[in-house]
Amino acid sequence: MNTAIKWVATAFLALAGAVALPARGMAQAVVAGKVKDIGFEQKLGDRLPLDLTFSDDSGRLIKLGDLLGKRPIVLAPVYYRCPLLCNQLLTGLTRSLKPMKATTGVDYDLVAFSFDPEDEPSVAHAKKAGYLERYGRPGAEKGWHFLMGDQAAIEALSKAIGFRYTYNPQTKLYAHASGVVVVTPDGRIARYFYGVDFPTRELEGEIARAASNQIGSPIGKLLLLCYDYDAATGKYTLSILRLIRVLGSATALALFGFMFVMFRRDYQGKVGRSSGLDTTPNGPGPNNS
């Protein structure tokens, strides 16, 4: 049995290495490929370009500075046709805002801006309506702004908050990071939150501090990235890495199954010997001596 266990351990290490090496190579390809164009640099204290012009979900032109002055904003860079992370970000943000004592349109505003110049007001309006319904506070719509802009305005605002993204023309999808920015009423960046889930108490506290024009502290740069696999270029992405993880899990399950069979066979052999039976193939049967 010891020999069988050693064989299983050796096989497991060999297969684990076979899985780990391609995964590491793929991860390196990701870092060397698309991820170098994606990021969310913290620019605490920097002032936003308030003269930038966008349109809202009704098609009305609005300057960024018109949304500031009275109260802080939570700024979310997304694009409304995103099939992946942007939906999770807006869902998580809405879930975090809902239990707050502070209310949008009264204590702060929520501003989502699309970094896709092809996004249209009808799509933005539908997104806004859906998340307002989840938020569930009457009158909150006056504090929710879903913006679109031309390429120049998008790039200027993205650069100002340190948000870098890239476009894949084959899949027509964007590769980007996930997070939100809290901005003071006078238009300065007060705090970053990365990911798709934001602690309610911490977020509410930072909004309250930003209302007094206080600048928060930098946070760790653990990012969620949204990008795809481009078969045309062969770049490795999250999708293929997920596949590698699935294959690794399947390998582990197969090895555990093999170990179960080996242990069971060993157990049955011990039972047979203890009862006086020879369980080896073509054995003589009961031992009557």
Is it the case that residue 27 has pLDDT exceeding 50? no
pLDDT in tens, 233-270: 434 344 434 444 444 555 566 666 667 667 677 766 66
pLDDT the model gives residue 168? 86
Nearest to 21, CA basis, from 29, 11, 9, 31:
29
Amino acid at 284: P
Side-chain half-sphere CA neighbours of 4 within 13 A = 12
Q: What is the pTM of this model?
A: 0.68
Structure tokens belonging to residue 249? 């899990």
Percent of the chain with pLDDT over 90: 54
Amino acid at 239: S
pLDDT in tens, 196-217: 889 999 999 999 999 999 999 8
pLDDT in tens, 260-278: 667 677 766 666 666 555 5
* Helix 121-135 vs helix 85-97: crossing angle, to nearest 10: 40
Instruction: Work out the mean pLDDT of the chain and round it to a whole number.
Output: 78
Per-residue burial over 3-26, b = 16 or more CB atoms within 10 Å of its CB, e = otherwise: eeeeebeeebeebeeebeebbeeb
Instruction: Calculate the alpha carbon distances from 235 to 20, 32, 34, 88, 170 in Å.
Output: 18, 10, 8, 24, 12
